[in-house]
Structures are given as C-alpha cells and as structure tokens.
Amino acid sequence: MADVTKGRVVEQDVLTAYRDRVERGLVQALDGNAPLRSLLRYHIGLEDEGGRPASTPAKFLRPSIVLFVAEELGGDADVALPSAVAIELMHGFSLIHDDIQDQDRVRRGRPALWTICGIEQAINAGDLMHALAIETALRSSPDAAMCLLRAAREMIEGQSLDLAFERQDVTADGYLTMIDRKTGALLRCAFELGGVAAGVDSRVRSSLVALGNAVGRAFQIKDDVLGIWGSDDVLGKATGSDIRRRKKTLPVVLLFAATAGDDAAALRTLYRRSSPEGETAAAELAAIVARLDALHIRDACEAMIDRYLDLALRRARELPFDAAARTRMERLIGYLARRER
Amino acid sequence: MADVTKGRVVEQDVLTAYRDRVERGLVQALDGNAPLRSLLRYHIGLEDEGGRPASTPAKFLRPSIVLFVAEELGGDADVALPSAVAIELMHGFSLIHDDIQDQDRVRRGRPALWTICGIEQAINAGDLMHALAIETALRSSPDAAMCLLRAAREMIEGQSLDLAFERQDVTADGYLTMIDRKTGALLRCAFELGGVAAGVDSRVRSSLVALGNAVGRAFQIKDDVLGIWGSDDVLGKATGSDIRRRKKTLPVVLLFAATAGDDAAALRTLYRRSSPEGETAAAELAAIVARLDALHIRDACEAMIDRYLDLALRRARELPFDAAARTRMERLIGYLARRER
C-alpha cells in the first residue's frame, strides 16, 4: 500500500508537470482535416469517437521522461518538446499496429482504433503516426531523429519476437532479449532524448541509456504481473488476456522453467488447448493462475522488479543532478516499477 | 509499337545504368540476421523464399530517377545513393502494407509477403522497412529525410483515400487528388531528392517537383490502363483485379461520369454486385470492359497520359541540362508514361 501511495504522489508530480505541454504539442502535431488525422486524435485520446474534444486517458510517461530529464540536465524544454511529442507519437503508432496484431479490442478503456475504422485504415493510421513521429523528432535535431529511429527499429523487431514467441518455447534470457527491444527501446530512448536535448556528453548519455534499460525491464515485468494479477477496472483492459493469447510473459516463462517431466507436458497441453484463434476457457485460465500461485511466481517476478529498480537507482546516481532533481528522479523510477496500472 | 520499343531502349539505358549500385545499397541497408530482415530481402527481391540470393524483378524506377537527376545536375552519386536506396525502401514498405490491405496475393510475379509470413509479421516487416527508409535518407541529409517524410505522409494519406474510394462515388478531380498523393508523392520526391543531393536552388527544385507531379499522373493513369487492358504475363499480376476490388481507377471514374439515368443505376449495381470480400464474376468483368470499350475510354485515358507527358517534357526543358542529358531525361519521361508493364 505504501508503494501504491508513493506511485500516486509521483503521478501528480513528474507526470502531471508536463502534461499540458505534451497535450498541446500533440494537438499541434495531429492537426488537420483529413479523415486519417481524426483517427489519430481519437487514438491518442484527444477526441472521442464523434470527433469531440476529450480528456485523454494516456499517461504520457515517455514524453514526461524526455522533458523531465532535459530540464533537470539544464536543457531547454522548448527544444525538447518536439522530441517529447515525437516519442508519444511513436508509442501511439506501435499500439495501433499491436492491437491489430493481437486482436485486442480495448485500449485504455476505449474501443481500439481498428474496431472503429477497420484493419485496413488502422494500418494506414499507424503508418501515418510513425512518419509524423520522426518528422516531429527531426524538428528537435537530426541526432534526436536518429535516436528515435534506432529505437523504432528495435521496438518493431521486439514486437516481431513477441509474436513469434506465441508459438515457441522461450527461456528467461530470450524473454529479456524480447522486452529489451519491444518495451526497453522506447524507454531507453525517452531518457536518451532528454539528454540529447540538454546536449550532455557521451558519459552522461550512456548512464541515461543504462538507466532506461533497467527501468524498461522493471516496467515490463510489472506490466506482465499486472496483466495476470491486476484489476480489470484499474487497467482499462481484461486481465488474463496475455495468457489467453499465449503470450510468453515472464510469469509464464518462469512457470514453464519450473515445471518438468509429465507436469510440463500437461502444462503445455493446457496452455495450447484452444486453437490459436480461440480463447482459453475460464477454467483453464484459473488452472494456470493456480499453478503460478502455488510456485510463488508473482513473488519471483516482484524480486526481479526490485533488482532492476535497484540497478536503475544506482545508474540515476551517476547523473549530474542536484538533490531535489535526484529525489524526483528516484520517485519517478519507483513509480515506473511499482505502478498499479 | 514505336512507343514500346522506345520504352525498352530506355529501360536498358537510364534504368540499367544505376541498377547495380542501387542493388548493392539495398543489400547493405537490409543486412542482418533477424528473421524480419530476411523477409525484407525477400520482399525487395534480393532473396527467394528459401533465403537464397535472387535476381530481383524490381525495376528500381524511383532510385534510378534520384541518381540520374543528381548526376546530371552535377551532384555526387555517392552522396545521392542513400537517398536513392531510401526511396526504394519507402516504396517497398508501401507495397507490403498495400498488399495486405488489398488482399493481393501476387507481387512482381511472386507470392506477396503476407501470404508467406502472415499478416501480423508482414505489418511488422512493413514498419521496419519504413523506419529503415528514413534512417537511410537521414544519412544523405536532414533535408533529404524531411523530403522523404513529407512524401511518406502524402503517400499514406493517398492510400487511405484509395481505400475509402472503394465505397464512394468519385469525380475525376477526386481521382487526381488521390493519385497525386498515393503515386505522385513518391515520384515527385524522387526527382526532388536528386535535386537535393545536387544542392540545386529553389527554382530548379520547383521545376523538378512540377515535372515529377506531371510524370506521376501520366504514370498512374498508364498503370490504370495496363490494369484493365494489359497482359497478365507481362504485368506479373492479374489484369481486372482493380475492377474486381472496385478500385476507382480513371477508366472507371470516366465510365461513371459518362453514364446517366437508368444506365448509371444498372452500372452501379453491376459494379457492386458481389460482396466487398467476394470477386466480381468473369461475366460481370467482361460486361464492364465492354462498356469501357464502347465509350472509347481507353483512348480518353491515353489522351490524358499524352497531356501530362507533354507537361512533364515542358518542365524538363526548365532544367539546367546539357543536350545529352535532356535527351536521356525525355526518354526516361517517355518510358514512365508509355511503358507496357
């Protein structure tokens, strides 16, 4: 409970400090009359289904990191703003295509874009948001654009691995390789873009990347935990959906690793029971969660989160921050690793 | 027949002159062991389905234009090469996603990428090629990257219009708006990137863009004509497929414009007969082609091609070319507007 409270305080601190600026930047980047533009504004949460202004449920994690790091390292937030907006657009693009690929019908408590405009136009909408993301980053600097492009490449390769993993056995190392790309790339990039906007030297830049990598791991493992043990209402999407789609999340990877012999064969059968297009029945889902609980796998995951959280905090101490900035950074890192949604 | 011969000569001239350099640049840009990289090499034609080196059936139109224009305007082809490779990657990305959206199973006489790896991974492959395209352009210059990004945005908006047009009435003006984006954007960009690599002034750059726009219109109208009256074997895809998918190509737009009253209602019924997922029957396809022929619509399209070809040739005369370069440019423009595949 203490962690949750801490998380909420941070959410009203770093994340709310930059919220208005990010939102204004997004409004500007997504302005335009073409029907595709309206779809993008809906997806990012600036408009509702009828095209009326809405208050977005997006958390703006990544752009807030960019602006926070840039400002605390002495950069000009106005120079950093295009990078911040760009990384949220890049994240938004990936969610549009991910939802199509995973057939997820709900995103942030609202209908996923493809359920509204069809898969064909949702592919276009994602493509447009991808191009707009890089165009916006290029307004910060060529260095920022190159940094975001590298992250995009890694993120797409990670998404490709994540999909391939649905059909194969995965080790813990394989899992980390995947999340370092799918989730870590853009989080590393958020910290790095803040440094780029502040014009830091290569030593500080390396620390930011290492910090982002550790935070990315903690963040994704927390996401995996919430996906199984979180609450539907708080998450805005159905828990258990990762298991239903046979995603190789860390709890599942650890469960397979801890299961041998006949039990392993039975587990594999249980996990594969329904067709790839079908949904695992509620009873089978409950049976899998019971096995996870019997093996205390949630605790093992939380221990890994703590380990990467520690690593991130150590990297944060390498940054040329004053005491107040260090405290805000530590609370931000704590929030990313321990949030409840 | 004279035109065809002329086209073939050009194909062995401008298009073959840069072929090896473009291919080497693509090999380098798409190098890597990740499974997604191999899919990209297959799509662009550098490898066959088994991952063995292949001789690509791609024509490399756009990169050849970049290198030709850059060289003839005194630019360094080595500086222009990343831009040339980038525009072929951008074109390749658009084809991967277009084939998914249009459910086209054949591309350049080979199975379309999504039929080999599934729609989910083909979306990723397209996304990766998109990011690689801009990253490669950024190696030429930020100006080149921005130019390609603007073209990408327009191209994606054009693809979105093309899909929307399948379900609505379209005027000739609406058609031109769509093709200026879907096809014109990248062709304009090819001429412009050549100029950017040669460091031309804004006057020459404007001429290149205007030339590219006129060529783009002639090129797409020719494409529409070939899609109905071309030969399957020469094209590497099925003629009539545009009609089967209810695409609003220029012949169809002109047919609707020339049909009034009861005839229009009958035509609309004929054109909509099968479900959006189904295929128009052969008899219905033949009935539509018969109506097109009765109204001499192919001639009307060819007249428009000639008009835009003339416009392009006039724009080409504004360029600071020597006599030999002008001749090569005129033959290239003639090929783009009058090719048979």
* pLDDT tens by residue, B37-79: 999 999 999 999 988 999 878 889 999 999 999 999 999 878 8
User: What integer is the mean pLDDT of B249-260?
Assistant: 93
Distance CA B25, CA B19 (A): 10
If one counts the domains in chain A, the total is: 1
- For residue A20 the two structure tokens come to 């208005």
For residues B112 and B105, the answer to whether their CB atoms sit within 8 Å is yes
Select from B34, B125, B149 the Cβ nearest to the Cβ of A131: B149
Task: Note the pLDDT of residue A69.
Answer: 96
pLDDT by residue, tens only, chain A of 341 residues: 334 444 454 555 778 899 999 999 999 999 999 889 999 999 999 999 988 999 878 889 999 999 999 999 999 878 899 999 999 999 999 999 999 999 999 999 999 999 999 999 999 999 999 999 999 999 999 999 999 999 999 999 999 999 999 888 899 999 999 999 999 999 999 999 999 999 999 999 999 999 999 999 999 999 999 989 987 655 555 667 788 778 899 999 999 999 988 888 888 887 776 544 455 577 788 888 999 999 999 999 999 999 999 999 999 999 999 999 999 999 999 999 988 87
| Nearest by Cα to B154 from A150, A95, A32 | A32
Residues of A (46-75) whose Cβ lies below 8 Å from B: none
Contacts of B206 (CB under 8 A, 6+ apart): none
pLDDT of residue B237: 58
Instruction: Using alpha carbons, select from B206, B211, B204 the residue that is nearest to residue B315.
Output: B211
- Asked whether residue B28 is assigned to any structural domain, the reply reads yes
Residue B265 lies in a domain: yes
- B133 vs A contacts (CB less than 8 Å): none
Across the A:B interface, residue pairs with CB atoms under 8 Å apart total: 106
Beta strands in B205-296 (DSSP E): none
Q: Is residue B339 part of a domain?
A: no
In a domain, B79, yes or no: yes
Q: Is the ipTM of this complex over 0.85?
A: yes
Q: How far apart are the C-alpha atoms of A135 and A37, rounded to whole Å?
A: 15
Is residue B275 pLDDT above 50, yes or no?
no
Looking at residue B226, what is its pLDDT? 93
User: What gap in Å lies between CA B28 and CA B16, rounded to an integer?
Assistant: 19
**Closest partner residue to B123 among A123, A128, A145, by Cβ?**
A123
- B289-333 tens-digit pLDDT: 999 999 999 999 999 999 999 999 999 999 999 999 999 999 999
Is residue B7's pLDDT more than 60?
A: no
Residues 6+ apart with CB under 8 A from A338: A3, A4, A6, A7, A222, A305, A309
From the list B36, B101, B164, the residue facing A123 with the nearest CB is B101
Q: Is B246 on the interface with A (CB under 8 A)?
A: no
Domain containing A92 — which CATH number?
1.10.600.10
A53, β-bridge pairs: A47
Mutate to test the interface with A, among B127, B154, B186 (most CBs of A within 10 A): B127
Q: Considering only CB atoms, which chain B residues are within 8 Å of A117? A: none
Shortest Cα–Cα distance, B131 to chain A (Å)? 6
pTM for the structure as a whole: 0.93
> What is the rounded average pLDDT of the residues B245-273?
86
Say which residue the tokens 């994690």 belong to. Answer: A61
Whose tokens are 């906007």? That residue is A197
CB contact under 8 A, A150 and B135: yes
Contacts of A120 in chain B (CB under 8 A): 100-101, 163
Degrees (nearest 5) of the Cα angle A151, A155, A160?
A: 150
pLDDT of residue B78: 81
Q: List chain A residues with CB under 8 Å of B167.
A: none
Asked if B145's CB is within 8 angstroms of A145's CB, the reply is yes
pLDDT of the residue at B56? 77
Q: Report the residue of B33, B117, B124, B166 to disrupt the A interface, i.e. the one with the largest count of A CBs within 10 Å.
A: B124
Query: Got the DSSP string for B185-206?
Result: HHHHHHHHHHHHHHT--HHHHH
Q: Residue B238 has what pLDDT?
A: 60
A145: chain B residues, CB-CB within 8 Å: 134, 138, 142, 145
Query: Rounded to a whole number, what is the distance in Å from the CA of B216 to chain A's nearest CA?
Result: 21
Range of the domain at B284: 2-334
Inspect the interface and report whether the beta carbons of B134 and A149 lie closer than 8 Å: yes
Name the residue in chain B with its Cα closest to that of A154.
B128
The beta-carbon neighbor of B146 closest among A125, A138, A160 is A138
Chain B positions touching A132 (Cβ under 8 A) are 153
Identity of the residue in B36, B121, B138 whose CB atom sits nearest the CB atom of A145: B138
Q: Report if residue B254 sits inside a domain.
A: yes
| Neighboring chain A residues of B90 at a CB cutoff of 8 Å | none
By three-state DSSP, how is residue A166 classified?
coil
Residue B263 reports pLDDT greater than 90: no
Q: What does the block give as tokens for A256?
A: 């397979």
> On the CB side of B158, how many CA atoms lie within 13 Å of its CA?
22
Farthest CA pair distance, chain B: 60
**A141 to chain B: nearest residue by CA?**
B142
Residue B24 CA neighbour count, 13 Å, CB half: 6
A138/B36 Cβ within 8 A: no
Contact B157 A97 (CB under 8 A): no
